[in-house]
Amino acid sequence: MKREAASAFKVVCPIDSTTRRKIWPEHHDPSPFVTPADHFVERDGVQFAGTHLIIDLWGARRLDDLQLMERALRECVIKCGATLLHIHLHHFTPNGGISGVTVLAESHISVHTWPERGFAAFDIFMCGNAKPDAAISVLKRAFSPKKMNITEKLRGLQGNDACDGKRSDSPSQGRRVGGMRKL
């Protein structure tokens, strides 16, 4: 049954290797002399896959401006030192909310906005040498929120680790809450 379904799919959606590379580009060096990179991160002696920021903006402006959102996301990618693979944004009507994702070699940035409430939810996960914290200032400048709630989660830790956490708006005021840091 599975074999029949796979054969039927190939007939309906034939994709040769050249087309597949255009649709799903591969980002690697095929040289046999290159050792694959791990992309795990080490901070203060702790190794983990990457940093995941959950950022809520309250009292924010221009959350229905599609061009501003794309410019802000592209700037976040540059400031964070990440590698952009693809951006997809959807503009809802009638309220003008935006949902979208910025796909990165290092992971992603996603956004969902409720302009009628002045609220935006950003999700930023990056591994390797990327610095997701650099996106915070970009989002502040672009959307002028009255308040930001930022939660940081270190992904890929073995067990419950003290470096995993929530943080308050100011990193110097970070406090640990329930295994997370509040910024």
> What are the residue numbers of the active site?
107, 112, 127
For residue 102, give both structure tokens: 């910025």
Distances in Å between the Cα of 128 and the Cα atoms of 12, 40, 163 are 38, 6, 17
Each residue of 59-95: b (16+ CB within 10 Å) or e? ebeebbbeeebeebbebbbebbebebeebeeeeeeee
Instruction: Assess contact for 127 and 50: CB atoms under 8 A.
Output: yes
For residue 39, give both structure tokens: 């992309």
